[in-house]
Amino acid sequence: SQQGEEDPQALSIQEGENATMNCSYKTSINNLQWYRQNSGRGLVHLILIRSNEREKHSGRLRVTLDTSKKSSSLLITASRAADTASYFCAGGSRLTFGEGTQLTVNP
């Protein structure tokens, strides 16, 4: 069973635009992580936000967490073609993944 559900399932934007992806999860978590997966580099950890944090930044990434709504969002600013990938949220003691958002950034 999936812990997280990402929304939207697919997102297509132009280079330079911002991309926002949302994740809802089912059970209580200690932290929530975002991963990126593309055919070239496999599954790569992007950022981890703890349950007592509300927002976290890393470079062009901004993650928010709302534990009362059991939801998180990932914002990628000034997107690049190289950001094209599937993005997953994951959490829970067994790091349960959602089904992912497929992001396409058009040059």
Interface ranges with another protein (CB under 8 A): 2, 4, 29-31, 33, 35, 42-45, 48, 88, 90-100
CB of 34 to another protein, least distance (A): 10
31 closest CA partner among 2, 4, 11, 10: 4
User: Closer to another protein at the Cβ: 14 or 28?
Assistant: 28
User: Closer to another protein at the Cβ: 9 or 18?
Assistant: 9
CB of 89 to another protein, least distance (A): 9
| Residue that the structure tokens 């000034």 belong to | 78
Torsion, Cα 48 50 54 57, to 10 degrees, reads: -30
CB of 22 to another protein, least distance (A): 15
83 closest CA partner among 28, 46, 49, 57: 46
